[in-house]
């Protein structure tokens, strides 16, 4: 599912921090109205549910807060944390891990095993065909992971904006254009970020 297919009206305001080794993206927000991570998670879950996607909250045994199944091939694991500051100020941290589904993992393992087996049996032509198919499947899986990661990124950004959370990451081109059009809002956000950074230090 593409980001636009889930009813996302506005472009993201900040770029995510990407961690390729853990296949995860990270976003941070600031607010002075005690808007907690539960508020953000609830909104994210409802947006995915409205798009008829499977959403499963953590039952207490997982290391994430919410799992979303955007398709047959991937899974999205949302993990959140709140950082409390003076008064009603909060910094919200969101991490999204993109995982291959069990079906995809089994399929890739089967294809890899069949390739090794045919090569060991000396069936070089069949092994070459299976190698090509396996590589194509791996590339498709990676591409699907990227698409699912984009979807999660857009949804979190959209929900955070609806909750009036201030993004703390590097601004996107769309956010910079908005800052030029509405300099007062940009100044306010900059002041809040400065206050937040000082509080953290």
Whether domain 13-100+148-193 has CATH 3.40.50: the reply is no
Q: What is the pLDDT of residue 179?
A: 75
Q: What is the pLDDT of residue 201?
A: 40
At 7-32, the pLDDT tens digits run 667 889 999 999 999 999 999 999 99
**What average pLDDT score do residues 63-86 get?**
95
Whether 12 contacts 154, CB under 8 Å = yes
> What is the residue whose two structure tokens read 């976003």?
27
Confidence check: pLDDT of 192 > 60: no
Confidence check: pLDDT of 196 > 50: no
At 130-160, the pLDDT tens digits run 889 889 988 999 999 999 999 999 999 999 9
Whether 51 contacts 1, CB under 8 Å = yes
At 83-114, the pLDDT tens digits run 999 989 999 999 999 999 999 989 999 888 98
> What is the residue whose two structure tokens read 């955070």?
160
Q: What is the pLDDT of residue 200?
A: 42
Alpha helices by DSSP H, listed for the chain, are 37-50, 102-120, 124-162, 173-181, 183-200
Whether 32 contacts 91, CB under 8 Å = no
The strand pair at 90-100 and 24-31 is best described as antiparallel
What residues does each domain of the chain span? 13-100+148-193
Tell me how far apart the alpha carbons of residues 79 and 41 are, in angstroms, rounded to a whole number.
Answer: 9
Residue 126 pLDDT level (bands cut at 50, 70, 90): confident
**What are phi and psi for residue 17, nearest 5 degrees?**
-90, 120
């Amino acid at each position: 599912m593409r980001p636009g297919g889930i009813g996302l009206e506005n472009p993201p305001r900040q770029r995510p921090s990407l961690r390729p080794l853990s296949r995860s993206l990270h976003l941070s927000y600031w607010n002075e109205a005690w808007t907690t991570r539960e508020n953000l998670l609830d909104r994210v879950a409802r947006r995915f549910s409205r798009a008829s996607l499977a959403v499963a909250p953590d039952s207490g045994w997982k290391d994430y807060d919410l799992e979303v199944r955007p398709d047959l091939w991937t899974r999205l694991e949302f993990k959140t944390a709140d950082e409390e500051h003076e008064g009603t100020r909060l910094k919200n941290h969101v991490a999204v891990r993109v995982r291959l589904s069990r079906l995809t993992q089994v399929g890739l393992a089967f294809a890899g095993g069949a390739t090794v087996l045919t090569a060991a049996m000396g069936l070089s032509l069949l092994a070459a065909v299976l190698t090509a198919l396996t590589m194509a499947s791996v590339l498709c899986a990676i591409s699907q992971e990227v698409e699912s990661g984009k979807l999660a990124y857009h949804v979190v950004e959209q929900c955070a904006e609806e909750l009036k959370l201030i993004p703390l990451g590097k601004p996107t081109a769309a956010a910079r254009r908005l800052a030029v059009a509405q300099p007062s809002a940009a100044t306010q956000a900059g002041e809040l970020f400065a206050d937040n950074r000082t509080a953290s230090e």
